[in-house]
Amino acid sequence: MFKVKVCKKIKRTQDGRAMLNIGSGPRTNREWNNLDFSPYARLAWHKSLTRFLNAVGLLSDFRYDNLRKIDPEIIHWDVYNGLPFHDNVFDFVYHSHFITHIDRDAAFFITKECHRILKSGGIVRVVVPDLEQIVNLYNEAMADLDAARPRGNEKHSEAVDELFELMVRKSAWGTSRESFLVRIIERLFRGNIEKTGELRRWHYDRHSMGGMLADAGFREVSIMTPNSSDFEGWDPSGLDLEEDGSVYKPGSLYMEGTK
């Protein structure tokens, strides 16, 4: 197996556990090890630069606010190169709405990498859009259309968008909200939606995700809720739940496995 660059400094929580959030974006916990490959991860290291870019209008207030939430020690890393940690390091590895944006073969490789860096008894928690729920919503919308029920067209459009929109979108959602000048600059430096990592490359349900976790070596693979986990002391705040207690990503599948 190829050698992966290793991060020597591992942050630990107050109770001594090592936690990792892969593809964290702006949803970071300062006690955790946070890893991301987006421009957010690079810009988070340069506070003076981000203030300047915001002041001259090249970084929107929305993005500037998100950047200020990010762990300043975030690890900027491309997971296609493996995970930059030694074996048997972490107690808990988490990623949410991340693996659907990775090629299928690479998704299995990264799941194996999660298994490698976890301690024996460590837990991986995976959150993805739930294909089963999306298909059920599509079937309900079709039934509503057939019966000429109210909102049938709207529900049908929502279900089809959830299935395909991120697979065919031409520009990143965040870029599309920016001014004309900023859109040009971002497309020049960030590239298209495929380069930004926003393109959805696959859908998973409880069988396909559960099978991938089991094939990667995880045992006790099970379905969870936003609030529930086999990890002792699990706190979903800022991850699977918003500050007000609402679910961050409704329609998600939550699965865990133990090494």
Cα distance between residue 73 and residue 169, in whole Å: 32
Residue 13 falls inside a structural domain: yes
Residue 61 falls inside a structural domain: yes
Per-residue pLDDT of the chain (259 residues; tens, 9 = 90+): 444 568 778 999 999 999 999 999 888 888 999 999 876 666 666 666 667 666 666 666 667 677 667 788 889 899 999 999 999 999 999 999 999 999 999 999 999 999 999 999 999 999 999 999 999 999 999 999 999 999 999 999 999 999 988 777 766 545 555 565 555 555 555 555 555 567 889 999 999 999 999 999 999 999 999 999 999 999 999 999 998 999 999 999 999 999 9
CATH number at residue 242: 3.40.50.150
Cα distance between residue 1 and residue 121, in whole Å: 24
Residue 145 falls inside a structural domain: no
Residue 36 falls inside a structural domain: yes
Residue 42 falls inside a structural domain: yes
Residue 180 falls inside a structural domain: no
Residue 205 contacts residue 212 (beta carbons within 8 Å): no
Please state the φ and ψ torsions of residue 44, each to the nearest 5 degrees.
Answer: -60, -20
Residue 48 falls inside a structural domain: yes
Residue 2 falls inside a structural domain: yes
Cα distance between residue 191 and residue 197, in whole Å: 10
Q: Total structural domains in the chain? A: 1
Amino acid at 75: I
Domain with 33, as residue range(s), is 1-130+204-259
Residue 71 contacts residue 167 (beta carbons within 8 Å): no
